[in-house]
Chains A and B, each alone.
Chain A
Amino acid sequence: MSQTQAGVGGLLSVPALLHRNASEFGQAPAYREKEFGIWQTWNWSQTEEEIEALALGFLKLGVKEGDFIAIIGRNRPYLYWSMVAAQMVGAVPVPLYQDSVAEEMAYVMDHCGARFAVVGDQEQVDKIIEIQDQLTQFEHMIYLDPRGLRKYDHTNLHAYRSVQEEGRENRATFEADLRAREEKLDYDSRCVMLYTSGTTGKPKGVVLSNRNVIESARASVEFDSLVRSDDVLAYLPMAWVGDFIFSVGQSYWTGFCVNCPENAETMMQDLREIGPTYFFAPPRVFENLLTTVMIRMEDATKFKKRLFDRCMAHARKVGPAILDGKPVSGMDRFKYWLGDLLIYGPLKNTMGFSRVRIGYTAGEAIGPEIFDFYRSLGINLKQLYGQTEATVFITAQPDGEVRSDTVGVPCPGVELKMDEKGEVFYRSPGVFVEYYKNAESTAGTKDAEGWVATGDAGFIEEDTGHLRIIDRAKDVGKMADGSLFAPKYVENKLKFYPNILEAVVFGNGREECTAFINIDLSAVGNWAERNNIGYGSYQELARHPQVMDTIQGHVEEVNRSVAEDPMLAGCQVHRFVVLHKELDADDGELTRTRKVRRRVIEEKFADIIAALYDGSDKISTETEVTYEDGRKGAIRATLEIREASVVPVKTRSMAAE
């Protein structure tokens, strides 16, 4: 921390970066937004003027230093400006998820005691009006889109533009105050507060300082050599730390342009039009895109299909090597060039990835096939690992060292350590200040020396120095023989097969691992259709011998792949069953975000688990289900238990590490 005490060139806050950008390269584009079918651009000078006008307007409204200003809406330049304007007047922006229901908003807004809110449209205005009685400190709301709001009582409701107008008119009165407040901003002032999504308990407000944001932005910009001419598409929720770092931190640090889509539905078209050079997406976006491409190729003419298949096969062979700058024969290079001319180039253009120099994915494990697909096309897709408390960056993959099974090396300035259970801890300039009004949680997460627990278990590969995340720390256990048990690691490998929708692996404290599997009805159903296999229901299809054979094949492949890793070889699946029902959030088996609830499943299907371990080859069971309309029913079924072949390995316990 000490080396950066003074900040970099006196740039100690985001507003300071804004002024630097406006004076050094004021004509360079800062924001673009598509509106009325045309991309509108604001350069850095215009951005500075807009933000200052709003900041002066905030002063006119009576925003005090230390106030919290809630910001709710889809990614729009105006809302990014309100974050910086809030910082300018010494207030703290609190971006909220625009799709949260009123009740969730009530908790967060009450927790931080927000006096002001800047919101996107009538929908958000209505939500806040709905909860206003629960908010004791709330006073003023500013809205962007006036549609439908004309007849609302405007005593404490203001149009964004009118606040800016007021600010411009009263510049003389408030400018001195504004400058004085800006002067006071330093590296330790609060830059932003972001609420964590809160899968367990209530959301927690993570306070990030200017130091956290600027240091993380600086380090990551250097790591990937981002430059002013880069373009990003801002489409991920503004309340998410990643968007704040990409669209505010890194953008203000380097001065690159933030492009906002017209609306959520036009995102893919806007992506194609803008062609970002720096792009972030969670794995599911890449998955969906790949599925779309594949489905459209299935419908293409025979010639095109064959050309596509041939070129893609070649790309898979040499594409990643060319991307990493490894030696590739001249002939292969020529063939790749030809493929680029015919297939890869046009395909990348269709997807909007023609200009992508750096692409990141994070948040969840990405299937190796998906990952390799994009890399073989020449898209530099990489993985990073981070969390809100770290101001995003913990580890990231450097160019030329990209693999689908690691999350990369520690980012500049980040130190890592593992405790005896394998949980990953980190320490960096990006480590958050505190959880707002929650000293207990702060102390529980961050120790006196600044080490923060990630909640994830992982290890560092000895030869490469890459971090590998294997599972949530609380799910990791030990097998009876002392070897490591990491269910999610195996489940992810299983789920990478399109035929498998969900998998639950058991084995904590037992001799061997077993698994529940849910087939993917759309994928397997599609296969059944093509092969003239009739079926009446999920249950019937799940029981079909050929389906069972296919799944068994997948399980055995996974076993082979798991066995390659000496630390996790004990997690091979010995016996499995294809469940007679889909695991469902309505039945409490999954969370609303489709995460497996192990405890519930273990209790509910205790009889099946017992059968998996007592050697029987069949189990009759009855399960209660909840239908969509809320009625309850029961499914009776006899399930076949299959044995999967495993690769014999000499397991070793973690203690031997």
Chain B
Amino acid sequence: MSHRAAGRGASGGRIWNEKKGRARVKDTADSYVTADGRTIGGVVMEMKNITLRFGGVVAIQDISFDIREGEIRAIIGPNGAGKSSMLNVISGFYTPSEGEVWYKGARRPQMKPYEVARQGIARTFQNIALFEGMSVLDNVMCGRLTHMKPSILSQMLWKGKAEHEEVANREVAERVIDFLEIQHIRKTPVARLPYGLKKRVELARALAAEPTILLLDEPMAGMNVEEKEDMSRFILDVNDEFGTTIALIEHDMGVVMDLSDRVVVMDYGKKIGDGPPDEVRNNQDVIDAYLGVAHD
């Protein structure tokens, strides 16, 4: 009985503590600790005064924010607010017209998307971009591409290093498949899968890259409630288990508020709010942007 008494004393009459919400409790300059015990580290990526123009259209106008290590950072906003453009700037697909992207303490020069991927930034797409004819496993293995070093010749000959590496990469892929619970469709061609599962496979491919930052473009779009719950759980688990920093764009306000540590709110290309979910929820500009007010 002594074990039990000890447990009780520590947790107020219960053997185990309840899980707590994700609101943060302590904030210092360099890092802060969330209520559920995760330590959010220093800044890993910083957007400084980003402006993006397409001809005369200003998609993003002088936006600055940072992403900290280990946090779930959401970018929200009404349709056409410039969220996806922002994600494309982060992933290196767009080069900002003005402003700088700082990554791991250094200014990031203009880069090709594959170079950004090698730096440890992986993403999923709003409209699923998988190889439809390939199996789930092969798609996930594609995520390992940036980790494959041997020459084409040695890969063709399937000798020595290439073979070892394939085995190691397959192991990582299998762990991701296990993690996201898609073992039953491992060998199924992606084209035959329903939408919700395709989304999960896309997440698997991004995860297989073992990214430092994971970018999710509307991971919950078009899903039913159950699929949304599943996806939310996977996003939280990824963050929990691997400590992956996650930046996501999402329409569903409820989901965003539950998931994220900090939220950036955009409207018409401008930043109108930035902070923890509760703060953002009570921000008058944000309420106006979502509920709509007369714009002069």
Contact = CB atoms under 8 A, between A and B. Distances in A.
A132 B7 CA distance: 13
A504 B55 CA distance: 74
Given A36-B171, A37-B177, A140-B3, A153 B11 contact: yes
B3 A266 contact: no
A629 interface: no
B183 A263 contact: yes
Interface stretch (B12-20, B124-132, B198-206, B207-215): B12-20
A37 B183 contact: yes
B10 A155 contact: yes
Nearest to A36: B174
Interface string B159-193: 00000000000110011011101011011000000
A6 B200 CA distance: 58
A538 B175 CA distance: 47
A240 B32 CA distance: 49
B157 to A, nearest CB: 25
Nearest to A126: B19
Contacts of A263: 181, 183-184
B183 A129 contact: no
A148 B237 contact: yes
Contact of A148 (B4, B174, B240): B240
A137 to B, nearest CB: 10
Interface string A131-158: 0110000111000000110111101110
A133 B181 contact: no
Contact of B4 (A151, A152, A156): A156
A265 B184 contact: yes
A155 B15 CA distance: 8
Contacts of A133: 14
A269 B174 CA distance: 16
Interface in B206-234: none
A330 B183 CA distance: 47
Contact of A153 (B7, B183, B241): B7
Contacts of B183: 37, 262-263, 265-266
Question: Per DSSP, are chain B's interface residues mostly helix, strand or loop, or mixed?
Answer: helix
A381 B61 CA distance: 72
Contacts of B14: 129, 132-133
A156 B16 contact: yes
Contacts of A37: 137, 170, 174, 177, 183, 186
A156 B186 CA distance: 37
Nearest to A61: B3
Nearest to A115: B4
B6 interface: yes
B37 interface: yes
A269 B4 contact: no
A35 interface: yes
A156 B184 contact: no
B279 interface: no
Interface string A117-138: 0000000000001001100001
A153 B17 CA distance: 6
Interface residues of B, number: 31
A140 B1 CA distance: 11
A266 B16 contact: no
A155 B237 contact: no
Interface string B19-53: 10000000000000000111000000000000000
B15 A132 contact: yes
A139 B4 contact: yes
A502 B34 CA distance: 55
Nearest to A129: B16
Contacts of A151: 19, 36-38, 240
A147 B176 CA distance: 13
Contacts of A156: 3-4, 7, 15-16
Contacts of B187: 269
Contacts of B36: 151
A313 B16 CA distance: 62
Nearest to B36: A151
Q: Which of A35, A62, A129, A155 has most B Cβ within 10 Å?
A: A155
Contacts of B17: 152-153
A156 B16 CA distance: 8
A431 B18 CA distance: 44
A140 B3 CA distance: 9
A262 B187 CA distance: 14
Contacts of A152: 16-17, 19
Contact of A269 (B3, B38, B184): B184
A265 B38 CA distance: 33
Contacts of B177: 36-37
Contacts of A155: 3, 6-7, 10-11, 15-16
Closest 6 CB pairs of A and B: A265-B184, A36-B174, A155-B7, A153-B17, A266-B184, A37-B174
Interface of B: 3-4, 6-7, 10-11, 14-19, 36-38, 137, 170-171, 174-175, 177-179, 181, 183-184, 186-187, 237, 240-241
6 contacts: A38-B174, A132-B15, A138-B15, A153-B15, A155-B10, A265-B183
